[in-house]
Amino acid sequence: MSSAVIFGLAGLELTADERAFFSEVDPWGFILFARNIETPEQVRALTSALREAVGREAPVLIDQEGGRVARLRPPHWRDWPAPLVDAEAGEERLRLRYRLIAAELAAIGIDVDCAPMLDLPVEGTHPIIADRVLGRDPEAVARAGRVVAEALLAGGVLPIIKHIPGHGRAVVDSHDMLPAASAPRQTLATTDFAPFRALADLPMAMTGHVVFEAIDPDRPATLSPGCIAAIRDEIGFDGLLMTDDLSMHALSGPMEARCSGALAAGCDLLLHCNGKRPEMDSVAAEAPELMGRAAERAATALSWRRAPDGADLEALAARYAALGGERAA
């Protein structure tokens, strides 16, 4: 039985110490960052080594939205514009973009993309979110998010909707400090929550480290039973729910307390990204075996895995370019 945690790692290769640690802890999955990426051959070897360490086809995640958030970059991978550029150009171009991204990921052994981002921007939204959005209103974000998810799935890559129940009202960067949203509950329900409600059937979601004062003025959503209840009951998401990165500075206090707080609030999986071993030891000590309803959700999420649809990738790239997506040529 795997542990209810997803871990990052330090560098381009799996060290002997990391291999032994992962073999013992058996995390549910892994996540890669730019520090883990050099060439396609290197990444393929790394994803294989991670799976060998745990003895199964563990999911390997990455944040590959394109634009600001792109772990894969030239010269080996395409240079994508901000997601909104393609979203506003039309659904076909957006679909082609993410089908091509899925192909790039699948080719190097990555089978989960932390996308689509369904956060709704407002006046003052911090650039860390504002230049990554898929639309300007709930309906547009929901439509574009569905296109992104279906394109990734067609390419054999599982999508993760984020940052549930919404990060668009953040005016500070949650990597550095804790944002708060003061909007009334009804406003949240009809705006911020709406895109997530529309895509609540998808298999996985990632929380946001944002305080929703109308729900829980004392704790960010990741650590808030009230916010997790809203995700489950009001938004209607019953899939696998993971935290955003527990090492982000939006959260405070000992790592152990962050982990126990997230699990107590109702998150299924802990996500720890920075690859720092002392923190990883603390997270591993708090991560339970994945069991019960969380294990069922994890199994359901993995049941969405399927082989790529066999599309002619050269033809898709040519069509994307013909629609104005020159940067992906």
| Long-range CB pairs of 89-95, under 8 A, 24+ apart, other chains included | 89/323, 89/324, 89/325, 90/323, 91/143, 91/144, 91/147, 92/319, 92/323, 93/320, 93/323, 93/324, 93/325, 94/134, 94/144, 94/147, 94/148, 94/151, 95/147, 95/150, 95/151
Annotation marks residue 268 as catalytic: no
> Which burial class, exposed, middle or buried, applies to 204 when counting CB atoms under 10 A from its CB (0-12, 13-18, 19+)?
buried
Annotation marks residue 175 as catalytic: yes
Backbone angles phi, psi at 159, to 5 degrees: -90, 155
Alpha carbons 307 and 154: distance in angstroms, whole number: 8
Q: Which of 17, 175, 176, 281 is catalytic?
A: 175
Q: Which two tokens stand for residue 70?
A: 């792109």
Q: Which of 113, 119, 244, 268 is catalytic?
A: 244
Alpha carbons 145 and 128: distance in angstroms, whole number: 18
Catalytic residues: 175, 244
